[in-house]
């Protein structure tokens, strides 16, 4: 009886996914970023590890990484509050453009003098590691339950979600310049402007079109809504790329538009794409772990360590300080932004581009970049909570309770379900619900008290620490905040 290759492949995939799930649980206890363990599992399963799986397909790895990153960025965009990033939009754009260029120049110069590369090869290496990684930043900030003061977290997430276009463009442009020396800098600038403009416009248009469809057409089966949003991601990335735009920027913008709109099954779709983002992160890091040959890392360890330390201690801080020189941010905020310059899957994916182009330094650069990413995640990723506390930028993390009910609004509804946690000095404490003078269109449907949930009545007494689940008109929210003593002002200290 012959063995079935497909069944064997499915079995191996299942074991790798289960191992990744176990690793994610272990990462919480050890304080190690989960993505580092995902990479380790891929390396152990590869040809140099006990798994013995031979895998050296750079093109397939690149394809998996691109698709995965598109879904990760879309999910990150959906969870990004447009109002929260508006105050930091210019700082984020400066970091994602000027910051990337400065990092590439600094790392490229260091590589030229220390590794004795040519100027173009050094700049190519700098471009590959120049962008922070959205998957790494999103997953580590959320898995480690980090909350920061003064819009710092919003700035970091905006930067990591929007700086890939510049890194991709620099990498592709420099590969072309190395392969075809006659290529001029004017073409590179034109490509940059075109990719950014088309990507942004395509993303905004796709997001608005998807929102329009969701609000005007009702699918007969609820399970078709996730299928529609998957199609939106693929259409947005593929369409914008064919139009010479940047697909990563497009899906991120489309996610922001959808996430800040109102449509049917919004909460369930947010959960679905959060699960998709986790699946894509696991798949991406496992495949990239399989692609690397661990026995090839020791010979480049010293060079990789020197480059990683230069990137972390010199290049990233200088790029941040210069890019944010106009911003009214405290020095400790800039220092934290500089420290959370995590490198992750994006540099490793970009390192496959020289492999596909057949450059002489491609293999050396791939191993070097992989070592730099491991070092970045190990040093920076594990110390983010410590650095946040050290710089006195740690903010209280709101703990979201899982309520035993969900509100699914009708299309174009003006009502929503608000979770409002009472501050310790709330004027509503020790008062009955009927004495609060809530707006007539507002109804307290549930009270979360400790680990219990109470069905309220008019004479229910509000206590300190209560969280109220209120069904109300969206226009009632400011009045509810005033009645319950909830501040709308962010802490910018």
For residues 126 and 340, which has the higher predicted lDDT (pLDDT)? Answer: 126
Q: What is the mean pLDDT of residues 409-428?
A: 76
Q: Which residues pair with 418 in a beta bridge?
A: 470
Instruction: Please enumerate in sequence order all residues whose Cβ is within 8 A of that of 79, keeping only pairs 6 or more positions apart, or say none.
Output: 259, 270, 274
Q: What is the CATH number of the domain that holds 473?
A: 3.30.70.1450
The pLDDT > 90 percentage for the chain reads 28
Q: What is the CATH number of the domain that holds 384?
A: 1.20.1530.20
Are residues 166 and 210 both part of a single domain? yes
Are residues 114 and 198 both part of a single domain? yes
Domain containing 212 equals: 15-390
Q: Is the pLDDT of residue 406 over 70?
A: no
Q: Is residue 173 part of a domain?
A: yes
Are residues 422 and 385 both part of a single domain? no
pLDDT at 435: 86
Q: What is the mean pLDDT of residues 101-110?
A: 96
Are residues 383 and 272 both part of a single domain? yes
pLDDT tens, residue by residue, 38-82: 888 988 888 777 887 888 888 888 888 889 889 988 998 898 878
Are residues 210 and 247 both part of a single domain? yes
pLDDT at 491: 45
pLDDT at 489: 46
Name the domain boundary from 390, 425, 440: 390
For residues 399 and 390, which has the higher predicted lDDT (pLDDT)? Answer: 390
Q: Is residue 432 part of a domain?
A: yes
As a whole number of angstroms, the distance between CA 100 and CA 194 comes to: 17
Are residues 422 and 305 both part of a single domain? no
Name the domain boundary from 357, 390, 423: 390
Are residues 421 and 379 both part of a single domain? no
Least-confidence region, from 28-37, 287-296, 422-431: 28-37
Name the domain boundary from 337, 356, 390: 390
Q: Is residue 369 part of a domain?
A: yes
* CA 214 to each of CA 7, 237, 258, 270, 407: distance values in angstroms, whole numbers, following the listed order: 38, 19, 10, 14, 17
Are residues 350 and 443 both part of a single domain? no
Are residues 172 and 112 both part of a single domain? yes
Assign 251 a pLDDT band (cuts: 50, 70, 90): very high
Q: Is residue 3 part of a domain?
A: no
For residues 383 and 400, which has the higher predicted lDDT (pLDDT)? Answer: 383
Are residues 137 and 279 both part of a single domain? yes
Mean per-residue pLDDT of the chain: 85
Q: What is the mean pLDDT of residues 150-165?
A: 81
Are residues 50 and 181 both part of a single domain? yes
> Is 0.75 surpassed by the pTM of this model?
yes
Assign 356 a pLDDT band (cuts: 50, 70, 90): confident
pLDDT tens, residue by residue, 454-475: 888 888 889 888 888 888 888 8
pLDDT at 268: 87
Q: What is the mean pLDDT of residues 265-278?
A: 89
Of 171, 257, 249, 242, nearest to 211 by C-alpha is: 257
pLDDT at 372: 93
Assign 224 a pLDDT band (cuts: 50, 70, 90): very high
Total domains in the chain come to 2
Q: Is residue 359 part of a domain?
A: yes
Q: Is residue 8 part of a domain?
A: no
Q: Is residue 403 part of a domain?
A: no
Are residues 344 and 459 both part of a single domain? no
Q: Is residue 357 part of a domain?
A: yes
Least-confidence region, from 98-102, 246-250, 262-266, 310-314: 262-266
């Amino acid at each position: 009886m012959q063995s079935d290759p497909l069944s064997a492949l499915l079995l191996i995939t299942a074991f790798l996914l289960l191992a990744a799930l176990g690793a994610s649980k272990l990462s919480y206890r050890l304080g190690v970023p989960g993505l580092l363990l995902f990479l380790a599992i891929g390396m152990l399963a590869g040809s140099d590890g006990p798994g013995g799986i031979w895998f050296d397909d750079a093109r397939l790895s690149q394809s998996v990484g691109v698709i995965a990153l598109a879904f990760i960025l879309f999910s990150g965009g959906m969870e990004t509050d447009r109002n929260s990033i508006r105050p930091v939009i210019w700082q984020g754009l400066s970091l994602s453009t000027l910051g990337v260029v400065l990092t590439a120049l600094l790392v490229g110069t260091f590589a030229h003098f220390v590794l004795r590369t040519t100027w173009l090869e050094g700049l190519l290496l700098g471009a590959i590691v120049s962008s922070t990684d959205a998957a790494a930043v999103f997953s580590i900030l959320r898995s480690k339950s980090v909350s920061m003061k003064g819009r710092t977290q919003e700035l970091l997430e905006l930067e990591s979600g929007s700086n890939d276009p510049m890194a991709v463009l620099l990498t592709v442009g420099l590969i072309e310049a190395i392969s075809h020396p006659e290529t001029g800098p004017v073409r590179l600038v034109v490509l940059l402007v075109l990719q950014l403009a088309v990507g942004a416009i395509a993303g905004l248009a796709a997001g608005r079109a998807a929102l329009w469809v969701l609000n005007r057409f009702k699918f007969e089966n609820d399970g078709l809504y996730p299928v529609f949003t998957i199609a939106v991601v693929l259409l947005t990335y593929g369409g914008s790329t064919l139009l010479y735009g940047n697909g990563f920027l497009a899906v991120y913008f489309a996610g922001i538009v959808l996430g800040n709109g109102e449509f049917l099954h919004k909460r369930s779709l947010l959960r679905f794409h959060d699960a998709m983002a986790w699946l894509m992160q696991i798949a991406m890091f496992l495949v990239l772990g399989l692609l690397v040959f661990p026995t090839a890392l020791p010979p480049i360890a010293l060079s990789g360590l020197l480059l990683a330390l230069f990137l972390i201690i010199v290049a990233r801080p200088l790029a941040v300080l210069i890019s944010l020189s106009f911003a009214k941010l405290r020095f400790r905020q800039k220092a934290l932004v500089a420290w959370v310059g995590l490198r992750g899957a994006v540099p490793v994916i970009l390192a496959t581009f020289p492999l596909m182009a057949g450059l002489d330094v491609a293999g050396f650069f791939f191993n070097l970049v992989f070592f730099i990413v491991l070092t970045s995640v190990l040093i920076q990723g594990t110390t983010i909570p410590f650095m946040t506390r050290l710089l006195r930028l740690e903010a209280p993390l709101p703990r979201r309770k899982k309520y035993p009910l969900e509100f699914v609004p009708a299309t174009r509804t003006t009502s929503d379900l608000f979770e409002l946690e009472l501050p310790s000095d709330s004027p509503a404490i020790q008062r009955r619900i009927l004495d609060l003078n809530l707006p007539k269109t507002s109804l307290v449907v549930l009270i979360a008290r400790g680990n219990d949930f109470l069905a309220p009545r008019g004479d229910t007494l509000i206590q300190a620490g209560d969280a109220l689940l209120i069904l109300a008109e969206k226009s009632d929210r400011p009045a509810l905040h005033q009645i319950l003593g909830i501040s709308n002002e962010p802490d910018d200290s």
